[in-house]
């Protein structure tokens, strides 16, 4: 985008006060302007599954008064599409709407990892897997930015809970950070180049994300090459001067000028170099310039609400996950004269988005009940019973989901009795269940995974009247299905699928479209099984990520834990076969051009058209560090007519086989065997093979503090020790002659051995040995 602002000259002409003011919002949703120099303000607006642009007269956080905008499926639904093109198309629509409402930057997507299904904001996040989160988050960014609107990837980083979210310190080990929590951001930043990144509220290992130099500058800019603007989450700045020095450019929203004064004072006193402020101002002006140039590029942008509503419906169809479908109960095939009973308040009062800053005021709202009525063949009757009310709010966990039905109010009993009556007279029964709006939201976490007890009581009662009804779920984050899902003939998880969810569900139930979503997060059997259970959400201002990198399926697989439905799972109305796995390795890790090509044939073996999400997982057979059993490294979605096959190809590179090495402070590929598996879910792997990849050995530096074991495991170290501990004939002597002793003190650092055990090696000799090994390696 060609510049209309001469950034460099402007930075030179701005006064210190003006520069400080530019690094603070002008108001709640705008950057500051400097009229004297023709620097305009630009608008930022929440999203990311629709626009929450507040009216111009709003003077506060007008959560419920935003201008109408298309409400697309939220991220947990979008992620279940496993479809980059689809997500990009949504991004384009969001970009168009943003342009039409004068919005320069859309505050999203959120690519935080779903560490626990309890996180109240999981509906805004994509997945428990960083690759899937990064790919789909990146697709959304590309779509939005392709329309000349900036995206703001958030919340960087390690914002995985709402409990104490403004202060809590997420205590995470380096490998989990690199391989899981930063990896989703890294992918988006390096592949989609977002205009802005929003820093999180929380602390990361003790330091606020907003003033974390390592996160904001060393990793984000120096390693990943981010050249955009870092904006604070709203109110995330604690120490403005430290934040600026750490790399946080723009503080939002304005804090009554306090930060300006702090920044100018720090520069005048010499505490902060003015060049730091200049850099931040230049970044801000560059983004303003981009936005202004894009807005002027093709006149007034327009967005057609009807077209976007239709898009929202087709997107929602692609997001639903058919978890089970016993005996092919779905799609329903009602014939004239039959009755379809629709039960559950959600069929009439849809749950279609989450609460908080992402809440959209939809342009329209589809009601599943109406849509079903419109779509059934003539002569089919659709009846309805609410079954439960939506005024239950946050309830304590159900004592036992298998226990007796206990609706306690007379009203509840009446609703239940009506539903049973309606179900008993129907030929087909669909029950709409889900989480009430108050159960999950930005701002707090859930305390359990269960559906409200009155909904489960309803299902039990209905299933007695009409065995194995179809259950449609609407919830932003995973709910527990163990304990009751056996009552359902089919289970369709629709997540929070936006304003057209009702129409999309009707399409899927009646077979106008086939479900093609796959789980982007595991559905565990029990909350207690979740990898972070013991430490989520922490206490006393800290949350320890004790499960390390074993998040989601990585954790369930490592512990061989049964789950209700595994990561990647989802059925369609057809079936697929996998054949002819082929793998070809070219180049090498050492030369930096390793390419592993993985191919297989996928065939639609059923009698309906459908789409399959083909997933490729990699596992390191033997490693010097702990590694997950398998990790998602590639996926694609293919559409196939009955009987038709397609050859699917994946390309993997060095990074796909590497782990983050704490000693090397880099990604390291360890030579050896790797399993490559292709299939329909993380636990439905249809084809697999093993490749043997050569790689130069990564050797940790040998120091005086390295242990005896580490010295002996290293060829140079072992050779050097053998020189010291040998007899006249060259045989192992002293320490090395006694295997039992070596085993006993192997974990002692060499300097401790030198000082404690009075061996032939004193500290001076050890230091000489260290120098010798270093020289040997260097030479």
The set of catalytic residues is 233
Q: Minimum distance from CB of 158 to ligand BGC (Å)?
A: 14
Q: Minimum distance from CB of 149 to ligand BGC (Å)?
A: 15
Q: Minimum distance from CB of 61 to ligand BGC (Å)?
A: 7
Buried b (16+ CB within 10 A) or exposed e, 661-692: beeeeeebbbebebbbbbbbbbbebbbeeebe
Q: Minimum distance from CB of 290 to ligand BGC (Å)?
A: 20
Torsion of Cα atoms, 522 then 524 then 527 then 530, to 10°: -60
Alpha carbons 159 and 162: distance in angstroms, whole number: 8
- Nearer to ligand BGC among residue 42 and residue 677 (C-beta): 42
- Nearer to ligand BGC among residue 50 and residue 515 (C-beta): 50
466 binds ligand BGC (CB under 6 A): no
162 binds ligand BGC (CB under 6 A): no
Q: Minimum distance from CB of 46 to ligand BGC (Å)?
A: 5
Q: Minimum distance from CB of 110 to ligand BGC (Å)?
A: 7
- Nearer to ligand BGC among residue 234 and residue 674 (C-beta): 234
Q: Minimum distance from CB of 99 to ligand BGC (Å)?
A: 19
The tokens describing 51, both together, are 């626009």
- Nearer to ligand BGC among residue 161 and residue 357 (C-beta): 357
Q: Minimum distance from CB of 140 to ligand BGC (Å)?
A: 15
The tokens describing 582, both together, are 């082929």
Buried b (16+ CB within 10 A) or exposed e, 39-72: bbbbbbbbbbbbbbbbeeebeeeebeebbbbbbb
Alpha carbons 281 and 679: distance in angstroms, whole number: 49
Site string for ligand BGC, 188-227 (x = CB under 6 A): ----------------------------------------
Site string for ligand BGC, 94-123 (x = CB under 6 A): -------------x----------------
- Whether residue 554 contacts residue 546, with contact meaning beta carbons closer than 8 Å, is answered with no
Residue keyed to tokens 């259950």: 471
- Nearer to ligand BGC among residue 169 and residue 530 (C-beta): 169
Q: Minimum distance from CB of 72 to ligand BGC (Å)?
A: 17
Ranges assigned E (strand) in 15-143: 44-46, 105-107
Q: Minimum distance from CB of 47 to ligand BGC (Å)?
A: 8
Alpha carbons 233 and 248: distance in angstroms, whole number: 10
DSSP H helices, 101-182, are: 130-145, 174-176
Backbone φ and ψ for 32, nearest 5 degrees, come out as -80, 150
Of 272, 282, 284, nearest to 246 by C-alpha is: 272
Among 72, 125, 185, 234, binds ligand BGC (CB under 6 A): 234
Q: Minimum distance from CB of 62 to ligand BGC (Å)?
A: 11
DSSP H helices, 398-467, are: 410-424, 453-465
- Nearer to ligand BGC among residue 443 and residue 696 (C-beta): 443
Q: Minimum distance from CB of 45 to ligand BGC (Å)?
A: 9
- Nearer to ligand BGC among residue 24 and residue 598 (C-beta): 24
Per CB under 6 A, contacts with ligand BGC among 29-58 are: 46
Alpha carbons 729 and 265: distance in angstroms, whole number: 74
- Nearer to ligand BGC among residue 181 and residue 234 (C-beta): 234
Of 307, 330, 329, nearest to 320 by C-alpha is: 330
Q: How many residues bind ligand BGC (CB under 6 A)?
A: 6
- Nearer to ligand BGC among residue 323 and residue 360 (C-beta): 360
Name all contacts of 394-403 with Cβ < 8 Å and 24+ positions apart. 394/438, 394/439, 395/452, 395/453, 396/447, 397/447, 397/448, 397/450, 398/448, 398/450, 398/451, 398/452, 398/453, 398/456, 400/483, 401/450, 401/456, 401/480, 401/482, 401/483, 401/484, 402/483, 402/484
Q: What angle do CA 141, 98, 495 make, to 5 degrees?
A: 60
The tokens describing 383, both together, are 């009846």
Which residue's C-beta sits nearest to ligand BGC?
357
Alpha carbons 94 and 658: distance in angstroms, whole number: 36
357 binds ligand BGC (CB under 6 A): yes
Among 83, 164, 233, 249, binds ligand BGC (CB under 6 A): 233
Name all contacts of 662-671 with Cβ < 8 Å and 24+ positions apart. 662/174, 662/175, 663/698, 663/700, 663/701, 664/698, 664/700, 668/698, 669/589, 669/594, 669/693, 669/695, 670/620, 670/623, 670/624, 670/695, 670/698, 671/695, 671/696, 671/697
- Nearer to ligand BGC among residue 153 and residue 490 (C-beta): 153
Of 635, 639, 647, nearest to 679 by C-alpha is: 635
- Nearer to ligand BGC among residue 211 and residue 530 (C-beta): 211
Query: Phi-psi bin for 310: left (phi > 0), alpha (psi -120 to 50), beta?
Result: alpha
Could you tell me how far CA 224 lies from the centroid of its own chain? 19
- Nearer to ligand BGC among residue 418 and residue 442 (C-beta): 442
Q: Minimum distance from CB of 494 to ligand BGC (Å)?
A: 24
- Nearer to ligand BGC among residue 211 and residue 604 (C-beta): 211
SS3 content of the chain, % helix, strand, coil (to 5): 35, 20, 45
Among 41, 84, 114, 154, binds ligand BGC (CB under 6 A): 154
How many other CB atoms are there within 10 angstroms of residue 501's CB atom?
34
Residue 31's Cβ-count burial label (10 Å; 0-12, 13-18, 19+) is buried
Site string for ligand BGC, 313-352 (x = CB under 6 A): ----------------------------------------
Report CA Rg, the chain: 29
418 contacts: CB under 8 Å, gap ≥ 6: 385, 386, 387
Cis ω before 405 (30° cut-off from 0)? no
Q: Which residues of this chain interact with ligand BGC, rule CB under 6 A?
A: 46, 107, 154, 233-234, 357
């Amino acid at each position: 985008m060609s510049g209309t602002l001469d950034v460099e000259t402007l930075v030179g002409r701005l006064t210190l006060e003006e520069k400080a003011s530019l690094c603070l919002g002008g108001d709640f949703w705008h950057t500051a302007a400097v009229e004297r120099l023709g620097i305009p303000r630009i608008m930022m607006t929440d999203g990311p599954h629709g626009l929450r642009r507040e009216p111009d007269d709003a003077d506060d956080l007008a959560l419920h008064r935003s201008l109408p905008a298309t409400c697309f499926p939220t991220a947990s639904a979008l992620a279940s599409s496993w479809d980059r093109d689809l997500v990009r198309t949504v991004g384009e629509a969001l970009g168009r709407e943003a342009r039409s409402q004068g919005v320069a930057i859309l505050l999203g997507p959120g690519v935080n990892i779903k560490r626990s299904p309890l996180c109240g904001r999981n509906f805004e996040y994509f997945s428990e897997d960083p690759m899937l989160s990064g790919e789909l988050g990146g697709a959304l960014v590309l779509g939005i930015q392709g329309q000349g609107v900036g995206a703001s990837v958030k919340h960087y980083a390690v914002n995985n809970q709402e409990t104490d979210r403004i202060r809590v310190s997420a205590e995470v080990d380096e490998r989990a950070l690199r391989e899981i929590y930063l990896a989703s951001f890294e992918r988006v930043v390096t592949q989609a180049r977002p205009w802005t990144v929003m820093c999180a509220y929380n602390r990361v290992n003790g330091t606020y994300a907003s003033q974390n130099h390592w996160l904001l500058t060393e990793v984000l800019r120096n390693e990943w090459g981010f050249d955009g603007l870092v904006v604070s989450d709203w109110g995330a700045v604690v120490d403005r001067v430290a934040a600026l020095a750490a790399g946080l450019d723009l503080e939002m929203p304005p804090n009554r000028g306090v930060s300006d004064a702090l920044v100018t004072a720090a520069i005048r006193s010499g505490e902060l170099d003015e060049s730091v402020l200049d850099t931040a101002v230049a970044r801000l002006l560059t983004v303003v310039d981009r936005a202004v140039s894009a807005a002027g590029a093709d006149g007034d942008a327009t967005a057609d609400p009807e077209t976007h509503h239709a898009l929202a419906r087709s997107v929602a169809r692609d997001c639903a996950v058919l978890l089970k479908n016993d005996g092919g109960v779905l799609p329903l095939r009602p014939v004239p004269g039959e009755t379809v009973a629709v039960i559950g308040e959600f069929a009439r009062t849809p749950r279609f988005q989450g609460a908080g800053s992402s809440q959209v005021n939809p342009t329209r709202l589809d009601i599943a009940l109406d849509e079903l009525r419109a779509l059934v063949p003539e002569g089919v009757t659709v009846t309805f019973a609410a079954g439960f009310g939506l005024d239950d709010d946050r309830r304590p966990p159900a004592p036992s989901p298998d226990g007796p039905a206990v609706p306690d109010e007379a009203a509840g009993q009446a609703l239940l009795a009506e539903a049973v009556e309606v179900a008993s007279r129907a030929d087909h029964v669909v029950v709409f269940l889900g989480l009430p709006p108050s159960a999950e939201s930005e701002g707090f976490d859930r305390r359990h995974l269960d559906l409200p007890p009155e909904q489960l009581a309803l299902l039990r009662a209905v299933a007695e009247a009409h065995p194995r009804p179809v259950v449609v779920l609407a919830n932003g984050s995973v709910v527990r299905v163990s304990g009751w899902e056996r009552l359902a003939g089919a289970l369709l998880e629709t997540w929070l699928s936006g304003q057209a969810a009702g129409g999309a569900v009707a399409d899927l139930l009646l077979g106008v479209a086939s479900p093609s979503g796959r789980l982007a997060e595991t559905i565990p059997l029990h909350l207690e099984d979740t990898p972070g259970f013991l430490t989520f959400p922490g206490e006393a201002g800290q949350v320890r990520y004790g499960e390390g990198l074993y998040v989601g399926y990585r954790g369930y697989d490592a512990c061989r834990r049964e789950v209700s439905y595994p990561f990647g799972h989802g059925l369609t109305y057809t079936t697929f076969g996998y054949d002819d796995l082929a793998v070809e390795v070219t180049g090498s890790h050492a030369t930096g051009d390793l390419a592993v090509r993985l191919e297989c044939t996928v065939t639609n073996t059923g009698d309906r058209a459908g789409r399959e999400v083909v997933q490729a997982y990699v596992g390191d057979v033997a490693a010097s560090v702990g590694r997950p059993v398998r990790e998602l490294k590639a996926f694609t979605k293919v559409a196939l007519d009955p009987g038709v096959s397609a050859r699917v190809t994946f390309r993997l590179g060095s990074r796909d086989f590497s782990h983050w090495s704490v000693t090397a402070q880099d990604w390291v590929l360890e030579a050896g065997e790797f399993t490559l598996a292709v299939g329909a879910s993380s636990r439905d792997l249809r084809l697999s093979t093993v490749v043997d990849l050569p790689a130069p050995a990564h050797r940790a530096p040998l120091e005086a503090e390295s242990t005896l074991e580490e010295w002996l495991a290293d060829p140079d170290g072992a050779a050097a020790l053998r020189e010291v501990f040998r007899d006249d004939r060259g045989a192992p002597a002293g320490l090395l002659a006694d295997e039992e002793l070596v085993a006993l003190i192997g974990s002692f650092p060499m300097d401790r051995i030198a000082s404690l055990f009075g061996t032939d090696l004193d500290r001076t000799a050890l230091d000489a040995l260290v120098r010798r090994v270093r020289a040997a390696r260097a030479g």
